[in-house]
Amino acid sequence: MVQTTQDTGSRPVLPLAPGRPPADSAGRLRSWLRRHPRILTPLRRLMLDMSPYLPGLAQLVARLSARRWGPSPQAYRRWVEEHDTPGPAALAGMVRTALAMPDPPLISVVMPVYNTPEPLLRAAIASVRAQAYPHWEMCIADDASPAPHVQAVLAEAAASDARIRTVRRSCNGHISAASNTALELARGEFVALMDHDDLLPPQALFVVARQIRAHPETDLFFSDEDKVDGEGRRYDPYFKPGWNPELLLGQNLVSHLGVYRRELLNRLGGLREGLEGSQDWDLALRSVAAAGVERVRHIPAILYHWRQGAEATSFSEGALERCAAAGRKALAEHLEQNGAHGAEVVPQGDLPGWPRIRHAMPRPRPMASLILALPAAPEGVEALLPLLEMGGHAPAELLLIWPAGKGQPAPAGTDPRLRLLPGPPAAGRAALLNAAAAQARGEVLVLLEPGVEPAREDWLSELVAQAARPEIGAVGAMLLGPGRRIRHAGYVLDGETPARPWPLLGQAVEDDRGYIGQLRLPRDVSAVSGACLAVRKASFEAVGGLAPLPCWSDVDLCLKLRAAGLRVIWTPFSRLWQRQEDDMADRAARAEALSWLRARWGGRLAQEGFFSPLLPLREGEPSILAAPRAMAGAG
- What tens digit of pLDDT does each residue of 582-594 get? 666 788 999 999 9
Residue 458 and residue 480: Cα distance in Å, rounded?
15
Instruction: Read off the pTM.
Output: 0.87
Q: Please identify every stretch of the chain with a pLDDT value under 70, giving residue numbers as ranges.
A: 1-68, 310-318, 412, 582-584, 632-635
In percent, how much of the chain has pLDDT > 70?
Answer: 86
Element (H, E) at 80: helix 73-83
pLDDT at 407: 84
pLDDT at 471: 97
Per the DSSP assignment, residues forming a β-bridge with 259 are 192, 221
The dihedrals phi and psi of 156, each to the nearest 5 degrees, come to: -65, -45
pLDDT at 630: 79
Architecture of domain 82-318: Alpha-Beta Complex (3.90)
Residue 158 and residue 185: Cα distance in Å, rounded?
13
Residue 499 and residue 555: Cα distance in Å, rounded?
7
Element (H, E) at 99: helix 88-99
Architecture of domain 368-606: Alpha-Beta Complex (3.90)
pLDDT at 64: 52
Reduced to 3 states (helix: H, G, I; strand: E, B; else coil), residue 608 is coil
Residue 573 and residue 568: Cα distance in Å, rounded?
15
CB atoms within 10 A of CB 272: 18
pLDDT at 506: 74
pLDDT at 584: 64
299 close to 203: Cβ distance less than 8 angstroms:
no
Cα–Cα nearest to 634, from 211, 301, 281, 191: 211
Burial class (CB in 10 A: 0-12, 13-18, 19+), 9: exposed
Which DSSP state fits 484?
G
Equal CATH topology for 82-318 and 368-606: yes
Burial class (CB in 10 A: 0-12, 13-18, 19+), 82: exposed
Residue environment code for 205-230, b if the CB has 16+ CB neighbours within 10 A, otherwise e = bbbbbbbbeeeeebbbbbbbbbbbee
Per the DSSP assignment, residues forming a β-bridge with 423 are 403
250 close to 522: Cβ distance less than 8 angstroms:
yes
The per-residue pLDDT for range 539-574, each reduced to its tens digit, is 999 999 999 999 999 999 999 999 999 999 999 999
327 close to 355: Cβ distance less than 8 angstroms:
yes
The per-residue pLDDT for range 309-365, each reduced to its tens digit, is 765 554 444 477 889 999 999 999 999 999 999 999 999 988 888 999 999 999 999
Enumerate the domain spans of the chain. 22-65, 82-318, 319-360, 368-606
